[in-house]
């Protein structure tokens, strides 16, 4: 028995090995520098015996969402959601017809972009996101994202995720990384769909949040969303959010704007091998082209710092074979 069994197992091992090497885990990436940098880093930290080997539980990778995992132009998806909520709620608030910023929104056609200040946006988000339970809000988000479409492409927002980044998430997970979202967007806005779309479970989503209150409604406990800011997970808030939620410095961080700068700084300041990558929106044809002067997703300091610190910069136009997943 010994010999035939050994032969079978050897053959099996050969097939497996061949499979692993044959399949490109990042098929939507061109064979340019960023792809090579990613795979070289992953090999460095995962290969047993490598001087930079990192045990599985410490392999933490953090990803910004807007502009890094999905499109953010011409307006953050969550802002579009908040506007739709304001329109849906308007009949209950007749005073909004004349009260800015609500009046401004209500008089703008759906397909047009509305310019609102940060302060106004906060008012809108508070009105659209609070005064209900976490479960009610989650259902509203789920229902909205199932049908809401991008004003320019007509695609579902969840179809405007970046195929190369989906492959990257899967590749990292296959190499023992735990993948987290660390976004300025609302934590409760992302959780209802992040698992299905990105394979990232709710407990690995970090974002901005409002305060919650535990309340008994009869004998049923609920968590009410209060119209009060709890945490802003942006810029210098990102390393804070990472520490509060993860408690471990990431090995690798992925962003696209100056809002991610501190997250990349914090990640790469750790000991041992670290990796930072910036998605540079250079593809006006397949997506959008914007950086130093953009109102949304401004990337200015990050581009400079990437150069001096040797961070990987992905040019969407040059480095990605495809941008969005093929239609299903």
Among the residues of 49-205, which ranges form H helices?
A: 77-89, 102-106, 118-129, 134-147, 163-174, 187-198
8 A C-beta contact, residue 80 and residue 156:
no
171: nearest Cα among 254, 246, 241: 254
* Closer to its own copies by Cβ: residue 57 or 310: 57
251: nearest Cα among 11, 41, 35, 25: 41
Near its own copies by CB under 8 A, which window of 14-22, 32-40, 207-215, 282-290?
207-215
Phi first, then psi, for residue 133 (nearest 5°) are: -80, 160
Nearest distance, CB of residue 104 and its own copies, angstroms: 32
* Closer to its own copies by Cβ: residue 237 or 259: 237
Per CB under 8 A, contacts with its own copies among 119-158 are 134
Among residues 83, 86, 205, 313, which is the contact residue for its own copies, using CB under 8 A? 205
Site string for its own copies, 162-191 (x = CB under 8 A): ----------------x--------xx--x
Nearest distance, CB of residue 191 and its own copies, angstroms: 5
* Closer to its own copies by Cβ: residue 195 or 283: 195
Nearest distance, CB of residue 140 and its own copies, angstroms: 16
CA 110 to chain centre: 25
**Interaction of residue 195 with its own copies, rule CB under 8 A:** yes
Pairing of strands 252-255, 220-231: unpaired
By CB atoms closer than 10 A (0-12, 13-18, 19+), residue 110 is exposed
Nearest distance, CB of residue 275 and its own copies, angstroms: 16
122: nearest Cα among 227, 257, 249, 36: 227
Among residues 70, 102, 266, 275, which is the contact residue for its own copies, using CB under 8 A? 266
Reduce the DSSP state of residue 250 to 3 states and report it: coil
* Closer to its own copies by Cβ: residue 102 or 137: 137
Site string for its own copies, 63-102 (x = CB under 8 A): ----------------------------------------
**Interaction of residue 55 with its own copies, rule CB under 8 A:** no
Please state, in angstroms and rounded to a whole number, the distance separating the CA atoms of residues 137 and 22: 45
Nearest distance, CB of residue 324 and its own copies, angstroms: 26
Nearest distance, CB of residue 127 and its own copies, angstroms: 21
Please state, in angstroms and rounded to a whole number, the distance separating the CA atoms of residues 2 and 9: 11
Nearest distance, CB of residue 73 and its own copies, angstroms: 27
**Interaction of residue 1 with its own copies, rule CB under 8 A:** yes
Reduce the DSSP state of residue 121 to 3 states and report it: helix
Among residues 209, 256, 282, 312, which is the contact residue for its own copies, using CB under 8 A? 209
Among residues 18, 221, 301, 304, which is the contact residue for its own copies, using CB under 8 A? 221
Enumerate binding residues for its own copies (CB under 8 A).
1, 4-5, 8, 57, 60, 134, 178, 187-188, 191, 195, 201-205, 209, 212-214, 220-221, 223, 230, 236-237, 239-240, 243-248, 262, 265-266, 269
């Amino acid at each position: 028995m010994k010999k035939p069994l050994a032969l079978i197992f050897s053959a099996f091992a050969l097939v497996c090995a061949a499979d692993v090497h044959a399949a490109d885990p990042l098929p939507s990436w061109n064979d340019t520098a960023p792809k090579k940098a990613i795979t070289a880093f992953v090999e460095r930290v995962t290969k047993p015996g490598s001087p930079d080997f990192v045990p599985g539980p410490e392999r933490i990778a953090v990803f910004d969402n807007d502009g890094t995992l999905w499109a953010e132009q011409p307006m953050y998806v969550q802002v579009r959601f908040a506007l739709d909520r304001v329109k849906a709620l308007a009949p209950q608030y007749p005073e909004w017809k004349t009260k800015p910023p609500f009046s401004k929104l209500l008089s703008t056609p759906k397909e047009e972009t509305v310019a609102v200040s940060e302060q106004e946006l906060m008012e809108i988000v508070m009105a659209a996101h609070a005064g209900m339970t976490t479960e009610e809000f989650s259902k509203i988000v789920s229902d909205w994202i199932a049908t809401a479409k991008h004003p320019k492409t007509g695609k579902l927002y969840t179809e405007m995720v970046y195929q190369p980044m989906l492959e990257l998430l899967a590749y990292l997970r296959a190499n023992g990384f735990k993948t987290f979202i660390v976004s300025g967007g609302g934590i409760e806005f992302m959780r209802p769909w992040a698992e299905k779309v990105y394979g990232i479970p709710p407990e690995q989503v970090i974002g901005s949040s409002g305060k919650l209150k535990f309340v008994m409604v009869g004998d049923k406990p609920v968590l009410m969303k209060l119209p009060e800011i709890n945490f802003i997970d942006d810029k210098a808030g990102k390393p804070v959010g990472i520490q509060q939620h993860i408690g471990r410095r990431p090995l690798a961080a992925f962003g696209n704007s100056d809002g991610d700068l501190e997250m990349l700084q914090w990640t790469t300041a750790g000991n041992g091998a670290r990796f930072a990558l910036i998605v540079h929106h250079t593809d006006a044809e397949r997506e959008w082209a914007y950086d130093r002067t953009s109102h949304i997703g401004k990337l200015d300091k990050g581009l400079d710092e990437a150069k001096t610190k040797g961070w990987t910069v992905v040019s969407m136009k040059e480095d990605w074979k495809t941008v969005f997943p093929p239609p299903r």
